[in-house]
Amino acid sequence: MTGSIPRSVVCFALLYSALHLIIHAVAEVEGDQIEVGLPVTPHEADALTPEERCEACQIVLRTVYGHFGRQVPSRRKLAHQLRHECNRHYQYRKKCILFTRLNTETIFREMANADFKPIKPCTLLKECKRLQSPIVEGAEFPSENATLQPTSPPAPPADTTPAVTLAK
pTM (predicted TM-score): 0.55
Confidence of residue 45 (pLDDT cuts 50, 70, 90): very low
Task: List pLDDT tens digits, range 14-35.
Answer: 666 666 566 656 666 555 554 4
86-93: Cβ within 8 A, 24+ apart: 86/60, 89/56, 89/59, 89/60, 91/46, 91/48, 91/52, 91/56, 92/48, 92/52, 92/53, 92/56, 92/57, 92/60
**First-to-last CA distance in the chain?**
98
pLDDT of residue 135: 72
Q: How far apart are CA 19 and CA 5, in angstroms?
A: 21
Is pLDDT above 80 for 93? yes
Q: Average the pLDDT over each of 38-42, 73-77, 89-93, 134-138 and give the range with the smallest value.
A: 38-42
Is pLDDT above 70 for 13? no
pLDDT of residue 143: 47
Confidence of residue 130 (pLDDT cuts 50, 70, 90): confident
